[in-house]
């Protein structure tokens, strides 16, 4: 009589359900963990405004490293920002200055970024040290008789389109199209279209993302 080896593999659905349950529990624990920070935020917001209160609290939470820090930051930002999807990831050292910011599904924000009034659409990737203030006119400087700090300014929503990738150290002052790649160290001063690769200071379109390098070189 021949013997047979039978291996029982747990159903994939069961493993997925368990993983989801663990994540939900972790989110609940994180929300409890940031409750004192949330309480201090609302007290401070009543005195100095939501923007300044957010900046100081997000700086505090940015110092918590690892996966724990990711959960704590997300729990806090979900209560404060205009929108923060549960799948968004915010790494160590990153802070926000404007509560009107929006983080959509599967957004990844690398370490040490500084973000103002920004809308990061789904699947956007920000590398480390990316700076996205609230547009390019946060400070006016046209009146020579006044210090710049006294001339005011305006904040404008900067939208980074779905699936865009912003390289390390880039500064984004205008909108970036869907699927567009901005090279490391670039400064975006004018809106970029969808699905292009841009680089430089100021950033200029190098080529379409789906155009071969050989074709681009021959056209030049």
Between CA 166 and CA 125 the distance in angstroms is: 6
Q: Based on the domain organization, do 205 and 126 belong to the same domain? A: yes
Q: Based on the domain organization, do 59 and 117 belong to the same domain? A: no
Q: Based on the domain organization, do 125 and 204 belong to the same domain? A: yes
Confidence grade of residue 6 (pLDDT, cut at 50, 70, 90): low
**Per-residue pLDDT reduced to its tens digit, 145-189:** 888 887 777 789 999 999 999 999 999 999 999 999 999 999 999
**Per-residue pLDDT reduced to its tens digit, 87-118:** 999 999 999 999 999 999 999 999 999 999 99
Nearest residue to 78 (alpha-carbon basis) of 56, 58, 48, 51: 58
**What's the mean per-residue pLDDT of the chain?**
89
In the numeric block, which tokens belong to residue 95? 């802070």
Establish if 67 belongs to a structural domain.
yes
Given 8, 85, 119, 139, the catalytic residue? 139
Decide if pLDDT at 132 tops 50. yes
Give residues with Cβ within 8 angstroms of 76, minimum separation 6.
34, 37, 38, 41, 57, 58, 61
Decide if pLDDT at 44 tops 80. yes
Establish if 9 belongs to a structural domain.
no
- SS3 of 160, please? strand
Domain limits for position 197: 87-211
Q: Based on the domain organization, do 52 and 131 belong to the same domain? A: no
Q: Based on the domain organization, do 148 and 56 belong to the same domain? A: no
Nearest residue to 182 (alpha-carbon basis) of 202, 160, 165: 165
Establish if 2 belongs to a structural domain.
no
Establish if 11 belongs to a structural domain.
no
Q: Based on the domain organization, do 128 and 184 belong to the same domain? A: yes
Verify whether residue 139 is a known catalytic residue.
yes
Establish if 65 belongs to a structural domain.
yes
Res 1: pLDDT: 47
Establish if 8 belongs to a structural domain.
no
Confidence grade of residue 214 (pLDDT, cut at 50, 70, 90): low
């Amino acid at each position: 009589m021949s013997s047979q080896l039978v291996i029982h593999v747990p159903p994939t659905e069961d493993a997925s359900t368990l993983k989801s349950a663990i994540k939900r529990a972790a989110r609940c624990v994180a929300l409890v963990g940031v409750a004192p920070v949330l309480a201090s935020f609302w007290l401070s917001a009543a005195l100095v405004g939501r923007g300044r209160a957010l900046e100081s609290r997000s700086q505090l939470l940015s110092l918590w490293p690892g996966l724990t820090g990711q959960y704590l930051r997300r729990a806090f930002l979900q209560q404060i920002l205009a929108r923060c999807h549960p799948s968004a990831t915010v790494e160590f050292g990153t802070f926000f200055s404007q509560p009107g910011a929006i983080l959509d599904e599967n957004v990844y924000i690398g370490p040490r970024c500084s973000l103002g009034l920004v809308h990061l659409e789904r699947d956007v990737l920000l590398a480390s040290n990316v700076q996205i203030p609230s547009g390019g006119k946060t400070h006016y400087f046209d009146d020579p008789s006044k210090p710049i700090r006294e001339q005011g300014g305006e904040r404008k929503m900067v939208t980074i389109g779905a699936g865009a990738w912003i390289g390390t150290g880039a500064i984004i002052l205008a909108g970036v199209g869907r699927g567009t790649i901005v090279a490391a160290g670039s400064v975006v001063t004018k809106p970029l279209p969808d699905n292009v690769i841009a680089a430089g200071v100021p950033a200029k379109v190098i080529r379409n993302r789906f155009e071969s390098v050989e074709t681009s070189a021959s056209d030049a």
